[in-house]
Amino acid sequence: MIPEREFLEIFDLNGNYLGLLERSDCHKNPNVAHKAVHVLVFNSRLELILQKRSDKKELYPNYWDTSVGGHLMPGETYFEAGIRECMEELGFKPERLDFLYSYIAKLPHETELVETYYTIFDGPYNFHNSSEVSEIKAFPLKELFEMEDTSKFSPFFLLELRELKKYYEGTGGIK
């Protein structure tokens, strides 16, 4: 059986819609952008839950990554994608999802138009049937903001962490 092809909406670097492109091609062309949503999941102690990417992932297997993240399906809103991705990756539907910020994530092989949301959730998490996540762990933000060895974290998460740190410095934290 031939695997189903996945298409993403693509945009120029000014945010103008260009059409659809196969997902694998989006990950090879930094001159077109596609949309991605990130959801930062905090526990009630405001520690950030991170996921360890499965060893089956094409990009950055076994690296620590953003709590939840994924691409938007054509026609889907960032908010809708955030809820869907929470259910797919960590097995829960957030009661509340709040917008934090947006940014452009430019990496050598791709460009993403990212919106980041957050939720507070103490579990239970159900990621054991996921082909995407092998482990989750709560990290104190202070530890993440001050870490020196970043070799076990995906480049996507390191961009997200930079944005989160700017947000914290500008606002004083999660409200």
* pLDDT score recorded for residue 67: 97
* pLDDT score recorded for residue 127: 83
Per-residue pLDDT of the chain (175 residues; tens, 9 = 90+): 555 788 999 998 888 999 998 888 888 888 889 999 999 999 999 999 999 999 888 878 999 999 999 999 999 999 999 999 999 999 999 999 999 999 999 988 889 999 999 999 999 999 876 778 999 999 999 999 999 999 999 999 999 999 999 999 988 887 6
- Domain residues of the chain, as ranges? 7-171
* pLDDT score recorded for residue 27: 83
- Assign 3-class secondary structure to 28-76: CCCCCEEEEEEEEEECCCCCEEEEEECCCCCCCCCCEECCEEEECCCCC
The CATH code for residues 7-171 is 3.90.79.10
pTM: 0.92
* pLDDT score recorded for residue 50: 97
> Cα separation of 112 and 100, whole Å?
17
* pLDDT score recorded for residue 3: 57
Whether 124 contacts 80, CB under 8 Å: no
* pLDDT score recorded for residue 31: 86
Report helix, strand or coil for 109.
coil
Find where tokens 């905090």 sit. 42
Report helix, strand or coil for 112.
strand
Residues 6+ apart with CB under 8 A from 115: 35, 37, 38, 78, 82, 99, 101, 102
* pLDDT score recorded for residue 98: 96
